[in-house]
Amino acid sequence: MKNNQFAIVPTDSEAAIAELRTIHFITPEMAALKTVPEIYQALLAKSFPEVHTASSRQHRFANLMATATLDLNEWLAQATVVSNQVFYNIGLQLLGFLPGQDFDLHDPLLAMRTIHLPLVGDSAFDRESLYYAWYLLLNTRGHRGQTLIENLTARGYFVPFYQLPNEQKPLFFNGKAQAVFDTNALIRDVVYVEAPLDTDQDGKRDLLKVEILRPAETATGLKVPVLYTASPYNQGINDHAGDAQMHNVDVPLPPKAPDNNTLADVAAKPDETPIPAARPINQTTREAEETFSREQSYTLNDYFLARGFAVVYAAGIGSVDSDGLATTGDTAETASTIAVIEWLAGNRPAFTNRDADTAIEAWWCNGSIAMTGRSYLGTLATAAATTGVSGLKTIISEAAISSWYDYYRDNGLVVAPDTFQGEDTDVLAAEVFSRSLRAGDAHRIQAKFDAKLAELTHDQDRTTGNYNQFWDARNYLKNVDKIKADIVMVHGLNDWNVKPRNVANLWDKLQDVPVTKKLILHQGQHIYINNLQSLDYTDMMNLWLSHELYGVANHAKTLLPNVLVQDNTAAQTWHGFDNWWQDAKRALDFKVQYKELVPADHPVDHRAAHFSDQLPDKLFKYYQQHLDAWQTELLNEHKDSPLYDHRLLFKSWQAPEAQLLVGQPHIKGSVAVNQNFGMLSFMLVDFGMAQRLTVSPQMIASKALDLGYHWREDDLKDFKLAKPTPFKMITKGHLNLQNRHHPWHAEAIQPNQFYDFELDLQPVFHHLLQGHQLGLVIYATDMKMTVRGNQDLQYSLNLNDIQLHIPVKSL
Amino acid sequence: MKNNQFAIVPTDSEAAIAELRTIHFITPEMAALKTVPEIYQALLAKSFPEVHTASSRQHRFANLMATATLDLNEWLAQATVVSNQVFYNIGLQLLGFLPGQDFDLHDPLLAMRTIHLPLVGDSAFDRESLYYAWYLLLNTRGHRGQTLIENLTARGYFVPFYQLPNEQKPLFFNGKAQAVFDTNALIRDVVYVEAPLDTDQDGKRDLLKVEILRPAETATGLKVPVLYTASPYNQGINDHAGDAQMHNVDVPLPPKAPDNNTLADVAAKPDETPIPAARPINQTTREAEETFSREQSYTLNDYFLARGFAVVYAAGIGSVDSDGLATTGDTAETASTIAVIEWLAGNRPAFTNRDADTAIEAWWCNGSIAMTGRSYLGTLATAAATTGVSGLKTIISEAAISSWYDYYRDNGLVVAPDTFQGEDTDVLAAEVFSRSLRAGDAHRIQAKFDAKLAELTHDQDRTTGNYNQFWDARNYLKNVDKIKADIVMVHGLNDWNVKPRNVANLWDKLQDVPVTKKLILHQGQHIYINNLQSLDYTDMMNLWLSHELYGVANHAKTLLPNVLVQDNTAAQTWHGFDNWWQDAKRALDFKVQYKELVPADHPVDHRAAHFSDQLPDKLFKYYQQHLDAWQTELLNEHKDSPLYDHRLLFKSWQAPEAQLLVGQPHIKGSVAVNQNFGMLSFMLVDFGMAQRLTVSPQMIASKALDLGYHWREDDLKDFKLAKPTPFKMITKGHLNLQNRHHPWHAEAIQPNQFYDFELDLQPVFHHLLQGHQLGLVIYATDMKMTVRGNQDLQYSLNLNDIQLHIPVKSL
């Protein structure tokens, strides 16, 4: 294990001792202890909450080696001083590391440094430095990726704290909220928030079902902040309806009628449909009428439920027990999302049932709300933030969409999210319209929803793939300047479902917005990262939310790096940066020659290179079923690849030194096609035999992460280095040749005439090792993402015109 | 979904009504209701434990369709009778099935029949038949594989029952224990049982750590039975030590010195080492001194914790916080295993800590114990049962070893469990000797254990692979006649880790033992089956254990089929049989001719066929790394397979009708080899392009199986039909040519001389579809299981002598 820990708050010795008193590690009785070994023994004695007697404790001590020859009891019997050798021998064992395998009892400090664990250098401790070292040890991560205090939490250390009076809760240690709330006593309420919407046009405002989990202490007056996850999936999904709506992608790319559109022409019109009046409030209550058994939860939220935060889930318009229709990303959906925040902040009514005769306030909420969640969930958090809604202090948006056009389209082309060929806004709407899963409700509403679905199908316009008013209404980037909430963004650099452009554009637009923003880029695909062994992500989020929602002065904004990036060349390695590409001052510039990428100042040929997009029928059919084989053969540089004549591949020098490629690679060129329409696709590839990270995090220990005490659990995982591979695709881009200038403006092209083009590929943060080669692949049909008509389309590119520009910065 | 439900107890209407009263579905107030629709409405009203008011309930009703046009409220407003059409329309929705997708509101009875759900035929219900239908519906499994009563349990139905007085607990419904125990209130104790052993030879009896979870009600006098899982893995495993002990299998097969051994010569000698005296008992207590936070649990046990059963885990000799040494399968390990049962049954002392100064009894236990667990865990259950230990009423042994020779050896060969090439008893001992994970303890004991390890390494004798005293001491089959506990055995027909012979031999030997035995054969590998959608395994075990441990007269012994087998040709299909091969009266007999298997009465050639075992070095190295590719190419009948000349393959007729192959295929033949040693391996193969079941159960819904209320969860899974494949290996067998008569007796062979051989392959229960062909493959080195010396060994087999005999029975 290699530790990457960012959420330790630097704390002076005096403050550390005060905190140790707060969590009862230092007790008044300890003042009477005379020697440092006696004090050390007293601290250790508290580290076994499972045992209740001195006899049992002594056996636990006997399991630990203090030196290479003495167990802890033997050593204590003769100790006069506590050296840091002994302290970290014992400390490493308490953290789950095993002498002989993970470290050497003769040199624990070496292991502390190798694993990147913080340590106190004093060779022999006095009382104060012992306390300080103990404090630091409690905040140090062990071999299962949890700190010692978290490990003690999972073993019951904080159970006696459940009984503390509300005034002493929540409890913070090293700037982070601790699990002093009994998760067995959580209160679970359902309320129905009245949104300022009538999407199902029944003349009444849409009621939205909200599931609330809150600590029992709220019933006796404690006010708590809320982690709110808006998840359209949360009340179930209708796979069957989604599948039925799925689009056939094995259709020809059509020529488009040229238009004269400007951006102003496609600007979304504000929805001015009048909204029905709010329901009258005749009576109010503090008691809910409905509860729920098992919510669909996010383990990060579960963790906070033990620590003094409430958690709220809502599936929004069109979901089970709510009103309205699913609309995929429009302003109604955003209004539905923030209605819950408005209720939590005291600015909107909710009712105890769907008859809406009794109102209920979020009287237990302290008015501070964060949003969490990944993918569609993170997308709604982003959407909510762009409204500037009051009460929303921060969002942690993971793998979030920032503009739906960047999810389902690219430069005038229909471009699917990876593994979801044929999906579109209507498919997603059909899937999350979970009212269809309740036959009684469906009976009344399905016809209205089918009409909405037809509208989505029409307006999303798969025929042209152009950016239009429909997509403009689903572009949150237009409202980034309205954001008032601080933001943590998390995204996978290999996420080809929600592609990296989504986070990059948001990050870039936020540069000028006066909120605190943090960015974490990992090497995964479309995943959560709160169960990785190598990164203290959960602690970072605890630091962040303790600061943002409880106002703890824990330096969260400075301790967390602005941009934290997982290295793609080594396991368990994360680096902090000040920015992404925005502070890059250098770039790599290439032109091409025959099959090579060459420095831009080289003289190059004036020839054209050609490829045909059309594949033999049998091969095409094989690739339809074997998408990974298609990509592997596309990148295979050997002449025997069946795709050899169906793409152009250019390879660079072997990198004379390692390079850090950042931001959006930019490509220019000129192309002719034998029809009056066409498309180009591009891949940037890292060539070089090397061990690369596994595609997904691998299981290290099932259910090893306790999120509290006798509470929910998560699996411990991390990326590992896999067997060596010869290449890896770094990024992609797609272009409809009729949209060479704007995605909203289709231009005519003539067959066999050369046209200039340029485009940005999806952004990267890629560590190219010394000796590796960059590859540029130019092709047309992307079997994984574009339509696949297997048409007779032949492309010619002027080699002299092709240019590749990639910003780089120092490692 | 296709339902296979065996654990519904046939119950007459009067008893059903009484039971509905017990679980408060029928209440005294309902006597006042006049009409059947009113009663129906009252029953339905109780089916939404989440809602507390009539208003909220009405909305839930509005979500249900009673007919194709009326929702439940609309229908109730006008209903005068309750038809079974309406009843099952609503019933199917309550069970999670969706109109339009899973069934048609015009014909719910068709769906009830298609999904195999039990139904009441009355077209219109009176009060009594309505109650009866409701009772049956509560016991009917829904689309997530749980019955309606289980679904209601997970939604909080039984929470009010937590407060019932002990006299009314446990509570049985339809013969099965219900979740009326608060799992948040479980008591967790640690005790140290004193085993009649001193395996670490420290002059004191070995103390064994035992973890106990018991209902809070035991503290106030309720006596409960115990599910005991003996798991050597439970306190952690030392992978590092296991890996270090792993054997190299890329070594030559050696010739063996001939011997004159008889079975008597290799009979294990009883261990007559004197045992130290028991510790004196000076004081006793009812309070434990130690607890634990999170045990490594088995979800089937978790389920029973909510239902009035205690659960006990012990890792046995050599594990963390216990005494002793790991010995892999010997009588000391068995004694360690049953010591816990003896304590639970009141026949052996335990202490509150390792100083052993205070004894503690299992005063909360009713004296009835079952053992559960899979693999090594099931093995120890089997071992325990063969002692006839008092108190052990039943075992549910899953994928259990019945003789360790059948796990690590076969007919005089070292034959590894699948995916564990190079493992042996010493490797396993090093892995489970978890005392090595506590450095202090390891410091004191490691030298003794290393000596034991050296003894295991020597005595297991990888050189000859012969059955010897070491293996005889680890053969539980010798003591099957001592079994007093009823047995449920579960095994995968594709389990090549613990191979099917283990369960088959135990089943066969049990035929004459006067206990009740049940056998479940599934199509998985080495898995648990308590989370399958298609089989009510958990309910079956509830029925079984309610009977065996609480004495409930629920007909468990007759309701469960003797032999329950999952069909290999269709998804979600299970068949009950009276026996395995023991009642088979017919057989298929084949001889061979050229590349064919032909009926045994055909005239055949007198030629010999030859193959060379040795592979080109590069190919051999490739297969070392790609074991599945090796097996696929071994079974590939085309001439271009690189293994074409390295094995013999014979294919039969196309089956004129479907066949059910049962028991142990028997092969006879004569073989010559060019050395004075050699081995043969055999595979039986089902040839025929067909969709076959997935190797492992596939995820249907994550965490969908609630094991109680706000308690632990399991994933819902099942096997599905995968893409068509041309063949599937059915079974295997291996033979050292020097052990043609007995595994304990090595005979000399001369090079190039023919010798007769015969052997049983691993047993089968295989449905061979009409038109499919049987294949027999004869080869030598098994890359997945045997040593792999890649020696120059050439084998000749007389075609005329090869005979294959397979018992069959009717489908």
A90 contacts on B by Cβ (under 8 Å): none
Q: What is the pLDDT of residues A765-778, one digit of tens each?
A: 999 999 999 999 99
Residue-level pLDDT at B254: 97
Interface contact B100-A439, CB threshold 8 A = yes
Interface contact B354-A56, CB threshold 8 A = yes
Interface contact B354-A55, CB threshold 8 A = yes
Q: Which two tokens stand for residue B567?
A: 């069909």
Average pLDDT over residues A714-742: 97
Distance from CA of A79 to the nearest CA of B (A): 17
Residue-level pLDDT at A632: 94
Q: How far apart, in Å, are the Cα atoms of A290 and each of A351, A506, A684, B54?
A: 11, 39, 54, 11
Q: What is the pLDDT of residues B280-311, one digit of tens each?
A: 999 999 999 999 999 999 999 999 999 999 99
Which is it for strands A517-522 and A563-566: parallel, antiparallel or unpaired? parallel
Residue-level pLDDT at B603: 80
Interface contact B190-A98, CB threshold 8 A = no
- Mutation pick from B1, B47, B52, B56 vs chain A, by most beta carbons of A within 10 Å, is B56
Specify the residue for token string 């390494």: B457
Average pLDDT over residues B79-89: 97
The per-residue DSSP string of A183-246 comes to GGG-EEEEEEEE-S--TT-SSSPPEEEEEEEE-GGGGGT--EEEEEEE-TTTT---HHHHHHHP
Find out whether A399 and A376 touch, Cβ atoms under 8 Å: no
Interface contact A440-B353, CB threshold 8 A = no
Out of B72, B443, B709, the one facing A440 most closely (by C-beta) is B72
Q: What is the pLDDT of residues B492-519, one digit of tens each?
A: 999 999 999 999 999 999 999 999 999 9
Q: Considering A526, A646, A766, A772, which one is annotated as catalytic? A: A526
Q: What is the pLDDT of residues B117-158, one digit of tens each?
A: 999 988 899 999 999 999 999 999 999 999 999 999 999 999
A526 catalytic, yes or no? Answer: yes
Q: Which two tokens stand for residue A219?
A: 């019933």
Distance from CA of A805 to the nearest CA of B (A): 42
B51 contacts on A by Cβ (under 8 Å): 289-291
Residue-level pLDDT at A605: 74
Q: How far apart, in Å, are the Cα atoms of A644 and each of A250, A671, B735?
A: 22, 19, 50
User: If you ran DSSP here, which 8-state letter would residue A643 be given?
Assistant: T
Rg (CA), chain B: 29
Interface contact B52-A289, CB threshold 8 A = yes
Planar angle of CA A746, A748, A751, nearest 5 degrees: 135
Q: Which two tokens stand for residue B234?
A: 């439970």
A65 contacts on B by Cβ (under 8 Å): 439-440, 443
Interface contact A439-B63, CB threshold 8 A = yes
Taking the C-alpha atoms of residue B152 and residue B178, their distance in angstroms, rounded to an integer, is: 11
CATH of domain B586-809: 2.60.120.260
Out of A64, A291, A438, the one facing B439 most closely (by C-beta) is A64
Distance from CA of A667 to the nearest CA of B (A): 41
Interface contact B293-A709, CB threshold 8 A = yes
Interface contact A71-B443, CB threshold 8 A = yes
Find out whether A569 and A686 touch, Cβ atoms under 8 Å: no
Distance from CA of B73 to the nearest CA of A (A): 10
The per-residue DSSP string of B579-639 comes to -SSTT--EEEEEEEETTEEEETTS-----EEEEE----HHHHHHHHH-HHHHHHHHH--ST
Specify the residue for token string 């490493």: A92
Residue B744's contacts (CB-CB under 8 Å, 6 or more residues apart) are B261, B262, B263, B265, B266, B466, B467, B468
H or E stretch covering A544: helix A537-550
Residue B180's contacts (CB-CB under 8 Å, 6 or more residues apart) are B158, B161, B162, B164, B169, B170, B171, B307, B308
Taking the C-alpha atoms of residue A79 and residue B434, their distance in angstroms, rounded to an integer, is: 29
Find out whether B231 and B296 touch, Cβ atoms under 8 Å: yes
B100 contacts on A by Cβ (under 8 Å): 439, 442
Q: Which of A204-213, A696-705, B637-646 has the lowest mean pLDDT?
A: B637-646
A56 contacts on B by Cβ (under 8 Å): 289-290, 353-354
Q: How far apart, in Å, are the Cα atoms of B357 and each of A56, A63, B235?
A: 11, 20, 24
Write the Ramachandran bin of A82: left for phi over 0, alpha for psi from -120 to 50, otherwise beta: beta
Taking the C-alpha atoms of residue B276 and residue B797, their distance in angstroms, rounded to an integer, is: 58
Q: What is the pLDDT of residues A225-276, one digit of tens each?
A: 999 999 999 999 999 999 999 999 999 999 999 999 999 999 999 988 899 9
- The residues of B annotated with a catalytic role in the active site are 375, 495, 526
Nearest-by-CA chain B residue for A442: B63
Best CA proximity match to B405, nearest among B330, B458, B336: B330
Out of A99, A353, A438, the one facing B439 most closely (by C-beta) is A99
Residue A543 has pLDDT above 80, yes or no: yes
Structure confidence at residue B597 as a pLDDT band (50, 70, 90): confident
CATH of domain B183-560: 3.40.50.1820
**CATH 3.40.50.1820: which residues of chain B?**
183-560
Find out whether A402 and A477 touch, Cβ atoms under 8 Å: yes
Residue A325 has pLDDT above 90, yes or no: yes
Average pLDDT over residues B49-59: 95
Out of B63, B64, B290, the one facing A50 most closely (by C-beta) is B290
**Do you find a cis peptide bond into A170, omega within 30 degrees of 0?**
yes
Residue-level pLDDT at B593: 85
Residue B429 has pLDDT above 90, yes or no: yes
B321 contacts on A by Cβ (under 8 Å): 59, 63
Nearest-by-CA chain B residue for A94: B438
**CATH 2.60.120.260: which residues of chain B?**
586-809
Residue A121 has pLDDT above 90, yes or no: no
- Mutation pick from B63, B245, B436 vs chain A, by most beta carbons of A within 10 Å, is B63
Residue-level pLDDT at B795: 97
Rg (CA), chain A: 29
Q: Which two tokens stand for residue A677?
A: 């329409």
Supply the pTM of this predicted model.
Answer: 0.96
Mean pLDDT taken over chain B: 97
Taking the C-alpha atoms of residue B767 and residue B589, their distance in angstroms, rounded to an integer, is: 17
B162 contacts on A by Cβ (under 8 Å): none
Give me the percent of chain B exceeding a pLDDT of 70: 100
Residue A709 has pLDDT above 90, yes or no: yes
Interface contact B98-A321, CB threshold 8 A = no
Nearest-by-CA chain A residue for B322: A59
Residue-level pLDDT at A590: 96
Find out whether A115 and A3 touch, Cβ atoms under 8 Å: yes
Residue-level pLDDT at A357: 94
B710 contacts on A by Cβ (under 8 Å): 184, 293-294
B299 contacts on A by Cβ (under 8 Å): none
Q: What is the pLDDT of residues A583-641, one digit of tens each?
A: 999 999 999 987 888 888 888 777 899 999 999 999 999 999 999 999 999 999 888 89
Out of A56, A154, A354, the one facing B59 most closely (by C-beta) is A354
Specify the residue for token string 């840091």: A84
Residue-level pLDDT at B403: 98
Taking the C-alpha atoms of residue A478 and residue B65, their distance in angstroms, rounded to an integer, is: 44
Out of A56, A101, A353, the one facing B353 most closely (by C-beta) is A56
Interface contact B156-A100, CB threshold 8 A = no
Distance from CA of B443 to the nearest CA of A (A): 8
Phi, psi of A178 (to 5 degrees): -105, 160
Best CA proximity match to B810, nearest among B577, B653, B654: B577
Q: What is the pLDDT of residues A356-399, one digit of tens each?
A: 999 999 999 999 999 999 999 999 999 999 999 999 999 999 99
Distance from CA of A96 to the nearest CA of B (A): 9
Beta-carbon contacts below 8 Å between A and B: 139
A690 forms bridges with which residues in the sheet?
A725
Taking the C-alpha atoms of residue A37 and residue A767, their distance in angstroms, rounded to an integer, is: 48
Interface contact B63-A441, CB threshold 8 A = yes
Interface contact A353-B184, CB threshold 8 A = no
Out of A50, A72, A292, the one facing B440 most closely (by C-beta) is A72
B353 contacts on A by Cβ (under 8 Å): 53, 55-56, 59
Find out whether A197 and A334 touch, Cβ atoms under 8 Å: no
Q: Give me the helix-helix angle, B84-94 and B127-138, nearest 10°.
A: 20
Find out whether A711 and A302 touch, Cβ atoms under 8 Å: yes
Residue B271 has pLDDT above 90, yes or no: no
Residue-level pLDDT at A637: 87
Average pLDDT over residues A290-307: 97
A414 forms bridges with which residues in the sheet?
A409
Out of A93, A353, A437, the one facing B53 most closely (by C-beta) is A353
Q: What is the pLDDT of residues B312-339, one digit of tens each?
A: 999 999 999 999 999 999 999 999 999 9
Interface contact A440-B354, CB threshold 8 A = no
